[in-house]
Chain A
Amino acid sequence: AQTVTQSQPEMSVQEAETVTLSCTYDTSESDYYLFWYKQPPSRQMILVIRQEAYKQQNATENRFSVNFQKAAKSFSLKISDSQLGDAAMYFCAYRSGGGADGLTFGKGTHLIIQP
């Protein structure tokens, strides 16, 4: 079974600064997808960014980018120019590429933005 580990229960960053959230995963599969989801206090799960394992290029979405290290099984999220609205729980998630399996989530990182 796959596992996803987020080793930082909480992170704090000053507004406008850059922060990196860590995620490692364990799998024996070669075909898979990785995601970062944001969960604000509203509880809604919001997709931030996705990465296909077969793509070498790191995904980017505006101020959000990932550092995908396939050999090291690492998938970190970098948030540039942090904004107050970025404050939330962030979950790293894994999905097998071979079927309709659900997502395997890490325990999350609580991101605090200091004004």
Chain B
Amino acid sequence: NAGVTQTPKFRVLKTGQSMTLLCAQDMNHEYMYWYRQDPGMGLRLIHYSVGEGTTAKGEVPDGYNVSRLKKQNFLLGLESAAPSQTSVYFCASSEAYNEQFFGPGTRLTVL
């Protein structure tokens, strides 16, 4: 099993450009999450999903959109990237009440 995978691993964008980060999990988990990690900070929750077709806002949702069209995939979109969105992005998945399994992260730089 691959666990949780993220595509791409690195990306550089210019201000105003758009992009989509893909998260995929093969553990048949219901819950999926997107976090961002900034220097000197722990991870902060952006959006999450409790099942196919559902999404909810986390602590820092502004400037991001998400979709969960298939149970195994969770997409994070940036419509108009800003330098403040330079960060490392982590996807995670879990079953209820269990620990979250994390992907390897995507390093995004917005110039």
Q: Which residues of A are in contact with B by a Cβ distance under 8 Å?
A: 4, 33, 35, 42-45, 47, 50, 91, 93, 97, 99-108
Contact = CB atoms under 8 A, between A and B. Distances in A.
Listed residue (A44, A97, A102) with the most chain B CB atoms within 10 angstroms of its CB: A102
B102 A91 contact: no
Contacts of A103: 33, 35, 43, 45, 92, 100
Interface of chain A: mostly helix, strand, loop or mixed = loop
Given A93-B42, A108-B42, A102 B99 contact: no
Interface residues of B, number: 25
B110 interface: no
Contacts of A44: 102, 104-105
A45 B58 contact: no
Interface of B: 30-31, 33, 35, 40-45, 48, 50, 58-59, 88, 90, 92, 96-97, 99-102, 104-105
Contacts of B50: 99-100
A35 B42 contact: no
Contacts of B105: 43-44
